[in-house]
Amino acid sequence: MPTNNSQGQTMPPVALTDTVTITYTAALENGEVIERTEQPVTLSIGSGTVCPAVEACLFGMEPGQARMICVQPEDAYGLHLPELVQNIPLSAFYGKPDPQPGMILTLNMGRDGEVVKVPAEVTAVRDGMVTVDYNHPLAGKVIVYTVKLIGIAG
């Protein structure tokens, strides 16, 4: 049922060209919060400010309404790709702090004929090898968003 605005006029639910104000919480399936808005966020539908699945859940919502949506890895931070996990000889870290599991390192990687610096998490150190993972830390994880629509600017 459409909501009345402060002038008593009926407001239609969220549509494709609207600008909306929302609050949201993003969490892992185990309930661990990974992001929460401190203040309401205003965005234009279709702007890409939030992931497309979250934008899609806003359609048809009315101010004051809340929804929960589970975003699958391929629609969030991507799948965890095994080819982005590498073993590097421990000797490559000579003269630097000893890598430990959980450390985030900035490593050089060849991309399109250029050397670029990319972050990688150390996942293991054993038998003279350091295992590093270049995947985003949230890759392969389902993200649960709780979204509340505060208002629609139209």
CA distance 77 to 142: 9
- Cross-strand bridge partners of residue 23: 148
* pTM of the predicted structure, to 2 decimals: 0.77
CA distance 141 to 137: 9
- Shared domain for 35 and 95, answered yes or no, is no
- Shared domain for 71 and 9, answered yes or no, is yes
- Shared domain for 92 and 41, answered yes or no, is no
Amino acid at 1: M
| CATH code, domain carrying 73 | 3.10.50.40
Domain that holds residue 114: 82-133
The pLDDT tens digits of the residues spanning 71-102 come to 999 999 999 999 999 999 999 988 888 899 99
- Shared domain for 100 and 41, answered yes or no, is no
Specify the DSSP class assigned to residue 49: S
Q: What number is the average pLDDT over the span 112-121?
A: 90
The pLDDT tens digits of the residues spanning 54-78 come to 888 998 899 999 999 999 999 999 9
Judged by phi (left if over 0) then psi (alpha if -120 to 50, else beta), residue 140 lies in left
Residue 1 has pLDDT above 80, yes or no: no
C-alpha closest to that of 41 among 14, 61, 21, 58: 21
- Shared domain for 45 and 93, answered yes or no, is no
Total domains in the fold of the chain: 2
| CATH code, domain carrying 95 | 2.40.10.330
